[in-house]
C-alpha cells in the first residue's frame, strides 16, 4: 500500500496563534537536491499581516519587559529542551530545504540548542556597573533596558542557528520580536517557532511572518513601531535596511557578505592547510558567510600545495545531503546555482585557469538537483571578479604571493573583512597577520569558517555595520544603557 503524504502548508505565528495570510497566497519551499520535491508551502504575507504581528509584539512588550531576566531565561531553557527532542526532524527538514548535509544541519541544530541555553543563563548575569560619583553621598550606576520590539531578518544559509542567535538574546534582554525568515528556509523556522510556542512564551512575545523580502523585510525596516532591526544577509539588502532604519531613528545591526582569505606560508604544515581549505571552501557547498574563497599561497610551496589541494578536491562526493556517504550537497536554490555558474564563466572570460570542477553536475538523479562541482581557479589576479566579489558557492581562487607580507596585502585588498586565516609555524608571520589583517574573525592554523557562540562575531569594512553578535556582545545591540544617579 502506498500512502501519499500531503505537503503541509505553514501559517504565520501572530499573537500566539497560527494564522493564514490575508493574501490567500503561498510560496513553495523546494528541495534543492530534487527540485520536484516541495518541502512545504509558506504564507506569502502582506503588509497587513506584518502590521498585526508588530501590533501584537507592541502590546506584549510591557509585561515581557517587567519579568525578571531569570523568568525570561526559563522560557529559553524550555525551548532548548523541546528543540533537543526534535533535533533529527528539524535537521532533516533543514537539509531538505537548503541542501547541506544532515551531519551539518544536525550540528547546527545542536548549536541552536546550546545558544538557547547560553542566553537562558544570561538572564541571571549582570546588566550594569556601579560608577563612583563625585558626590560622595550619591549612588551612580548603569542598568540596561530592552529596545522594545525587534525585527529579525535572516538568510537561508544557517536556517536554524542564525535566527536563534538573534531571537534568544533579543528575548532574554526583554524585547518582543517579529521574525521574517528567508523564504527559501521558512519551513525550518516555522518548526523552530513551534518549539517556542510549546515552551509557552506569552502571546505576542514571539511572532513570525513569512513572505517576500521586498514586502515583509522592507516593511520591518520601515515600520515605525519596530525599535531595532537585526539583519543577516547580502550587502545590497543590508545597506537598504540600514538606510531605512537610519531615516526613522531605529537601531540596526547588519551582518553581511565576505570574501574570506586563507594565507598559506611556506613554513606551514601543508596537509593541515589543505584539509582546512577544503573544509572552509566546500563544506555547506561554500555557502557560509565565513567560507574560504581566496587562497593565497607563498611562491616556494605553491605548486606542491596546488597539487595536493586539487587531488583532495577531486575526492569529494557530491549528492543528496540526507545520504550519509555524501560530503557535499547541492547549492541551495536554482538562482544560487546560476550565480555560481555565472561567476565560473566570468572567471574563464577574465583569463583564470580552471584546475578542477567548473560544471553543473547532471549525472543520473543529480540532474534533478542544483549541484555544482567543487571548483578551483589558478592564475587569478587581484582585479578579477572571482577574487573581489562574494560568490557564495564552492569556488576557490588561488593566488600566488612573493612573501607573507605580500600575501597580507593581497588578503586586505577587498571590500570585505569578515574572517581570515593563516597557516604558518612562524611567530613573526602569525603576529603580523593578527595585527594587520582587516577582519573581524582571525584564525591561525584553523579554517576560515568557525564561530563559537560565546565569543563576539561580526565583520569589518563592508561585511558588517560594525556591531557584533553572539556572546556578551549581543547585549550591546539588544539593550540600551540607562545611567542612574540616586541621592
The residue ranges that bind Mg ion (CB under 5 A) are 30, 97, 184
Number of H helices, E strands in the chain: 15, 21
> How many angstroms separate the CA atoms of 255 and 418, rounded?
9
Which of 434, 474, 439, 437 lies closest to 453, judged by CA?
474
- Per annotation, catalytic residue among 108, 255, 298, 373: 255
Rounded to 10 degrees, the C-alpha dihedral 209/214/217/219 comes to -90
Q: Does 255 qualify as catalytic in the annotation?
A: yes
For residue 344, count other CB atoms closer than 10 A to its CB. Answer: 24
Query: Binding to ligand NAP by residue 221, rule CB under 6 A?
Result: yes
Beta strands at 17-19 and 419-423: parallel, antiparallel or unpaired: unpaired
Q: For residue 413, what is its C-alpha cell?
A: 585588498
Which of 99, 219, 240 lies closest to 159, judged by CA?
99
Residue 101 CB, nearest approach to ligand NAP (Å): 18
* Residue nearer to Mg ion on the CB measure, 97 or 469: 97
* Partner that binds at residue 30, options Mg ion, ligand NAP, none, CB closer than 5 to 8 Å by kind: Mg ion
Residue 28 CB, nearest approach to ligand NAP (Å): 13
> How many angstroms separate the CA atoms of 154 and 257, rounded?
13
| Residues 128-157 interacting with ligand NAP (rule: CB under 6 A) | 153-157
Residue 80 near residue 115, CB atoms below 8 Å: no
Which of 400, 391, 451, 394 lies closest to 421, judged by CA?
451
* Residue nearer to ligand NAP on the CB measure, 12 or 424: 12
H/E stretch holding 260: strand 260-264
Here's the x/- map for ligand NAP, 387-406, by CB under 6 A: it reads as ---x-x--------------
Residue 453 CB, nearest approach to ligand NAP (Å): 13
Residue 353 CB, nearest approach to ligand NAP (Å): 26
For residue 70, count other CB atoms closer than 10 A to its CB. Answer: 12
Residue 440 CB, nearest approach to ligand NAP (Å): 9
* Partner that binds at residue 233, options Mg ion, ligand NAP, none, CB closer than 5 to 8 Å by kind: ligand NAP
Residue 103 CB, nearest approach to Mg ion (Å): 19
Q: 411-432 in b/e burial notation, b at 16+ Cβ within 10 A? A: beebebbbbbbbbbeeeebbeb
* Residue nearer to ligand NAP on the CB measure, 273 or 332: 332
Query: Binding to ligand NAP by residue 212, rule CB under 6 A?
Result: yes
* Residue nearer to ligand NAP on the CB measure, 57 or 229: 229
* Partner that binds at residue 237, options ligand NAP, Mg ion, none, CB closer than 5 to 8 Å by kind: ligand NAP
Q: Which residues contact 165 (CB under 8 A, 6 or more apart)?
A: 115, 453, 469, 470, 474
| Residues 238-277 interacting with ligand NAP (rule: CB under 6 A) | 240-241, 255-258
Residue 450 CB, nearest approach to Mg ion (Å): 25
* Partner that binds at residue 218, options ligand NAP, Mg ion, none, CB closer than 5 to 8 Å by kind: ligand NAP
For residue 440, count other CB atoms closer than 10 A to its CB. Answer: 21
* Partner that binds at residue 393, options ligand NAP, Mg ion, none, CB closer than 5 to 8 Å by kind: none
Q: DSSP of 448-465, one letter per residue? A: S----TTS-B--EETTBS
| Residues 410-429 interacting with ligand NAP (rule: CB under 6 A) | 418
* Residue nearer to ligand NAP on the CB measure, 294 or 308: 294
* Residue nearer to Mg ion on the CB measure, 175 or 185: 185
Query: Binding to ligand NAP by residue 64, rule CB under 6 A?
Result: no
Q: For residue 13, what is its C-alpha cell?
A: 505565528
Distance from the Cα of residue 158 to its chain's centroid: 5
Per CB under 6 A, residues contacting ligand NAP are 153-158, 180-184, 212-214, 217-218, 221, 232-234, 237, 240-241, 255-258, 289, 390, 392, 418, 459, 463
The catalytic residue positions are: 255
Amino acid at each position: 500500500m502506498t500512502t501519499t503524504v500531503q505537503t503541509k502548508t505553514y501559517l504565520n505565528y501572530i499573537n500566539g496563534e497560527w494564522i493564514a495570510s490575508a493574501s490567500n497566497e503561498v510560496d513553495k519551499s523546494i528541495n534543492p537536491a530534487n527540485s520536484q520535491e516541495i518541502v512545504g508551502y509558506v504564507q506569502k504575507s502582506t503588509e497587513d499581516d506584518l502590521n498585526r504581528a508588530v501590533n501584537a509584539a507592541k502590546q506584549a512588550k510591557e509585561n515581557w519587559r517587567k519579568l525578571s531576566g531569570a523568568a525570561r531565561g526559563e522560557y529559553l531553557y524550555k525551548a532548548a529542551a523541546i528543540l533537543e527532542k526534535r533535533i533529527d526532524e528539524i535537521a532533516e527538514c533543514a537539509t531538505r530545504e537548503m541542501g547541506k548535509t544532515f551531519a551539518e544541519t544536525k550540528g547546527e541544530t545542536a548549536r541552536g540548542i546550546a545558544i538557547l541555553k547560553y542566553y537562558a543563563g544570561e538572564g541571571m548575569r549582570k546588566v550594569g556597573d556601579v560608577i563612583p560619583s563625585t558626590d560622595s553621598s550619591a549612588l551612580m550606576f548603569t542598568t540596561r533596558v530592552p529596545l522594545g520590539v525587534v525585527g529579525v531578518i535572516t538568510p537561508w544559509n544557517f536556517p536554524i542557528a542564525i535566527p536563534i542567535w538573534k531571537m534568544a538574546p533579543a528575548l532574554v534582554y526583554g524585547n518582543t520580536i517579529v521574525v521574517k525568515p528567508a523564504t527559501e528556509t521558512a519551513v525550518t523556522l516555522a518548526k523552530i517557532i513551534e518549539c517556542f510556542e510549546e515552551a509557552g512564551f506569552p502571546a505576542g512575545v514571539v511572532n513570525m511572518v513569512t513572505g517576500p523580502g521586498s514586502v515583509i523585510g522592507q516593511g520591518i525596516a520601515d515600520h515605525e513601531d519596530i525599535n531595532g532591526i537585526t539583519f543577516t544577509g547580502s550587502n545590497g539588502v543590508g545597506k537598504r535596511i540600514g538606510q531605512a532604519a537610519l531615516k526613522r531613528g531605529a537601531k540596526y545591526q547588519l551582518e553581511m557578505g565576505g570574501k574570506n582569505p586563507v594565507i598559506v606560508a611556506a613554513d606551514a604544515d601543508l596537509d593541515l592547510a589543505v584539509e582546512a581549505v577544503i573544509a572552509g571552501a566546500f563544506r555547506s557547498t561554500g555557502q557560509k558567510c565565513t567560507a574560504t574563497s581566496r587562497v593565497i599561497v607563498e611562491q616556494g610551496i605553491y605548486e606542491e600545495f596546488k597539487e595536493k589541494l586539487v587531488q583532495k578536491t577531486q575526492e569529494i562526493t557530491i549528492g543528496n545531503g540526507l545520504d550519509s556517504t555524501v560530503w557535499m550537497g547541492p547549492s541551495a536554490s536554482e538562482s544560487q546555482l546560476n550565480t555560481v555558474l555565472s561567476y565560473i564563466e566570468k572567471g574563464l572570460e577574465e583569463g583564470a585557469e580552471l584546475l578542477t570542477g567548473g560544471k553543473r553536475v547532471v549525472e543520473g538523479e543529480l540532474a534533478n538537483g542544483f549541484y555544482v562541482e567543487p571548483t578551483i581557479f589558478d592564475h587569478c589576479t587581484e582585479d578579477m571578479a572571482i577574487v573581489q566579489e562574494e560568490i557564495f558557492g564552492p569556488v576557490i581562487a588561488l593566488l600566488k604571493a612573493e612573501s607573507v607580507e605580500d600575501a597580507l596585502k593581497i588578503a586586505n585588498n577587498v571590500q570585505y573583512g569578515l574572517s581570515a586565516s593563516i597557516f604558518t609555524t612562524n611567530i613573526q608571520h602569525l603576529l603580523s597577520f593578527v595585527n594587520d589583517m582587516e577582519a573581524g574573525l582571525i584564525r591561525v592554523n584553523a579554517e576560515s569558517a568557525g564561530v563559537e557562540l560565546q565569543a563576539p562575531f561580526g565583520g569589518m569594512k563592508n561585511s558588517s555595520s560594525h556591531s557584533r553578535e553572539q556572546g556578551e556582545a549581543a547585549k550591546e545591540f539588544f539593550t540600551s544603557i540607562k545611567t542612574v544617579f540616586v541621592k
